[in-house]
Structure 1
Amino acid sequence: MTNTDIDINDFASRYLAQWNESDPDARRKLIRDLWAEDGAQILVDPPEDMREAAANLNFPIPALEVRGHHALERRVERAYDMFIGTGHRFVQRGEATALLNHVIAFTWSMVTADGSVVGGGMDVLALDEDGRIRTDHQHIAVA
């Protein structure tokens, strides 16, 4: 599988759909379709309070990671409850980009019901040979 074997914008759209999906069974299916069994999401830039707490203890800024379908399901469910369940939606911003073979990136926004942007970020996905996400390095940006 190479980046030319998949529609990377469709892949980005399906990725965002897992976060917006209200039905837990449909969300679980999206996760199993998109992610390698041992796939990992790494939150590269954790929230400011976590960075400050780490700095106060003289630790480097920690990257937060979840790995495997079960942990990813819990992560997506929590994000759904925090953001989508409170009236937000994640939408793709611009076109996805093939960075390297098996590596794609795209930017996204978190929007309110009226379309106002309140947050966003960029995900860099490394795919395995089957076209499933091996790693997702997520970078969050404040609007």
Structure 2
Amino acid sequence: MDSANRIAEQYLQAWNERDPVARRAQVARVFTLEATYTDPMAASSGHLGIDALIGAVQDKFPGFRFELAGQPEGHHEAVRFSWTLHAPDGAAVARGTDFGLLDGDGRLASVTGFLDNVA
């Protein structure tokens, strides 16, 4: 799926966007209105819920950034990609893999996240 890389990059842009107005706009571009997000530590739904979750993570980890790790893969309505969370000094503090399901217009309808390694 050629769009797997684009989707993963846009998704991580939402997680890295610090400006609340720009982040909400990015969340709306990437996720469907009723999208769900779950990982071992959190669950959220809808644009407002996902935006609030991202904001809470940013508050807990100020200055940290998510980066794509490896090559995203996709087929049919599914996409899978891995990421690394870097501290402000560049140290990798967490790695994870996310699995998303897309709707007909290519936005994420659901994301399930897995933590592969937490320092």
Normalization by structure 2: what TM-score? 0.91
* Residue in structure 1 matched with residue 76 of structure 2 by the alignment: 101
CA-based RMSD of the aligned residues comes to 1.4
Measured against aligned partners, the alpha-carbon deviations of 1:2-40 in whole angstroms (never above 9, x if no partner) come to x45xx2212111101111111101000000011111000
Which amino acid in the other structure matches residue 34 of structure 2? D
For 1:114 and 1:75, locate their aligned partners in 2 and report how far apart those are by CA, in whole Å: 24
* Residue pair 2:58, 2:64 contacting (<8 A) in 1 also: no
Greater strand proportion: 2
Aligned structure 1 segments of 4 or more residues deviating by more than 4 angstroms: none
Which residue matches 2:105? 130
The answer to whether 1:90 aligns with 2:66 is yes
* Bigger Rg, structure 1 or 2: 1
- SS at structure 2 position matched to 1:108: strand
Distance in 2 separating the partners of 1:88 and 1:70: 22
Aligned twin of 1:29: 25
The residue that corresponds to 1:76 in the other structure is: 54
CA distance in 2, matches of 1:21, 1:65: 20
- The residue type equivalent to 2:4 in the other structure is I
Bigger mean CA deviation after superposition, 106-115 or 24-33: 106-115
Q: Distance in 1 between matches of 2:48 and 2:76?
A: 27
Aligned residue type for 1:107:
S
Structure 1 residue aligned with 2:6: 10
How many residue pairs get aligned? The number is: 118
Counterparts of residues 39-54 of structure 1 (less than 5 Å): 39-43=35-39, 45-46=40-41
Distance (Å, rounded) in 1 between the aligned partners of 2:53 and 2:87: 21
Q: What is the CA-CA distance between 1:95 and the residue it aligns to?
A: 0.7
Deviation at 1:103, TM superposition (A): 0.3
* Greater RCO structure (CA 8 Å; 6+ sep): 1
Identity %: 29
The answer on whether the counterparts of 2:31 and 2:108 sit within 8 Å (CA) in structure 1 is yes
